[in-house]
Amino acid sequence: MKIDIKKISEGEESITVRYRELTPKLNKIIGLLRNDGKIWGKLDEESVSLDPYDILYIESVDDKVFAYTPDKVIKLDGTLNSFVSDIADESFFRCSKAMIINVNKVVSLKSLSSNRIDATMEGGEHILISRRYASEFRRLLRGER
């Protein structure tokens, strides 16, 4: 399968890209555009839509998934794994077995003993990045992911 991308400016350029050569990030952006990028959840028994970029972090507690924004806690359907595959955005990073953080909402980082990282979020909340995910997070920060 081939995709033709054409750009028109001062002249016409045509680039042919094989489907398998598309970067995963581009595939994720295309996925976001298809469903308008909104996430649906429940807030006080009412269905609400949520822009993923407003999310500070997502946590799984007692087999329930919650998205935390600066001012709301919204219950999401599904699991953390389904969220990662549905949202398809590299801004979200799995930082522990039960939590995903929005990397764009991190304001400071501090290395801790045992190879863990303390991430301070925009709201002042501290999230621990477990040692299992810390090395991958460091690669992400270096742009190697």
Whether residue 34 lies inside any domain: the answer is: yes
- Identify the band that residue 51 occupies on the pLDDT scale cut at 50, 70 and 90: confident
At 79 the three-state DSSP class reads coil
Q: What angle do CA 39, 52, 125 make, to 5 degrees?
A: 125
Say if residues 105 and 56 touch (Cβ distance below 8 Å): yes
Tokens 């909402």 locate to 105
pLDDT of residue 6: 46
Question: Is residue 109 domain-resident?
Answer: yes
Q: Does residue 101 lie within any of the structural domains?
A: yes
DSSP helix/strand/coil, 84: helix
Q: What is the CATH number of the domain that holds 54?
A: 2.40.50.1020
| In the predicted structure, residue 129 carries a pLDDT above the cut 90 | yes
Which pLDDT belongs to residue 88?
65
Copy the structure tokens of residue 19.
């489907």
CA atoms 32, 85, 24, 18: torsion sign: negative
The answer as to whether 70 is a domain residue is yes
State how many domains the chain has. Answer: 1
Q: Within a domain: residue 5?
A: no
CA distance 39 to 67: 10
What is the residue range of 110's domain?
A: 24-142
Would the pTM count as exceeding 0.85? Answer: no
Predicted pLDDT at 30: 42
Tell me, yes or no, whether 18 lies in a domain: no
Whole-number Cα distances in Å, 99 to 39, 65, 78, 81, 134: 17, 9, 14, 10, 13
Give the pLDDT confidence of 62-73 residue by residue, as tens digits.
989 999 999 899
Is residue 8 in some structural domain?
Answer: no
* Strand-by-strand arrangement of the 57-61 sheet: 46-50, 39-43, 73-76, 64-68, 57-61, 99-102, 92-96
Asked whether residue 107 is domain-assigned, the answer is yes
Determine contact, residues 90/52, Cβ cutoff 8 Å.
no
